[in-house]
Chains A and B, each alone.
Chain A
Amino acid sequence: MADRGVVVVFGGGTLAGDLFDAASAAGYRAVIVQDLDGVRQDGAQADIAIEACVADRHHKHDALAAFGSVLGPNAVLLADALPDTVAECAVWSGHARRCVGYGVVGHLDDQRVVEIARGAHTDVDAVERSAAFFADLGHETRVIGDRPGLISGRTLAALANEAAWVVGAGVASAEDVDRAMRLGTNYPRGPLAWAREIGVRRIVDILENVCRHEGAAYAPAPLLLEMAGLASGENLT
Chain B
Amino acid sequence: MGVGIAASAAAAGFDVFLVEPQAHARERAAAQIEKMLSRLLREADKAALAAARIHTVSAIAEAGEADLYIEAVPESIELKRTVFGQIDRTAPAGALLATNTSSLSVTEIAQATSRPESVVGIHFFNPPAVMKLVEVVRAASSSDESIRRAVVFVERLGKMPVVVLDTPGFVVNRVARPYYLEALRAIEAGIADAETIDAVLEGLGFKMGPCRLMDLIGLDVNLATTRSVYEATGLERLRPSPLQERMVAEGRLGRKTSRGFYEYGG
Contact = CB atoms under 8 A, between A and B. Distances in A.
Interface string A61-83: 00000000000000000000000
A185 B165 contact: no
B131 A151 contact: no
A80 B179 CA distance: 22
A152 interface: yes
B171 A186 contact: no
Nearest to A175: B162
A22 interface: no
Nearest to A182: B133
Contacts of A199: none
B201 A162 contact: no
A217 interface: yes
Interface stretch (A7-15, A105-113, A119-127): A105-113
Contacts of B179: 155, 158-159, 185
Contacts of A112: 203-204
Interface string A173-194: 0001101110111111101000
Interface string A4-24: 000000000000000000000
A200 interface: no
Contacts of B190: 145
A180 B178 contact: no
Interface string B193-225: 000110111111111101000000000000000
B255 to A, nearest CB: 17
A146 B190 CA distance: 10
B165 A142 contact: no
B192 A155 contact: no
B162 A172 contact: yes
Contacts of A188: 204-207
B192 A144 contact: yes
B167 A113 contact: no
Query: Interface size bucket, A side?
Result: 35 or more
B8 to A, nearest CB: 15
Given A162-B174, A166-B174, A152 B165 contact: no
Contacts of A187: 206
Most chain B beta-carbon contacts within 10 A, residue among A151, A158, A176, A179: A151
Interface stretch (B61-69, B106-114, B181-189): B181-189
B185 to A, nearest CB: 9
A166 B208 CA distance: 24
Contacts of B14: none
Contacts of A169: 165, 167
A171 interface: yes
A151 B192 contact: yes
Given A176-B164, A184-B172, A185-B172, A140 B191 contact: no
A171 B170 CA distance: 7
Contacts of B164: 171-172, 176, 180
Interface of A: 105, 110-113, 115, 117, 140, 142, 144-147, 150-152, 154-156, 158-159, 161-163, 166, 169-172, 176-177, 179-181, 183-189, 191, 215, 217-218
Given A142-B200, A151-B201, A186-B208, 14 more contacts: A105-B204, A111-B203, A112-B204, A142-B196, A144-B191, A145-B189, A151-B191, A154-B182, A155-B178, A155-B182, A158-B178, A159-B178, A162-B175, A166-B175
Interface of B: 125, 131-133, 135, 160, 162-165, 167, 170-172, 174-179, 181-183, 186, 189-192, 196-197, 199-208, 210, 235-237
Instruction: List 8 A-B pairs, minimum CB-CB distance, nearest first.
Output: A113-B203, A145-B191, A158-B178, A188-B205, A183-B133, A112-B203, A184-B172, A217-B236
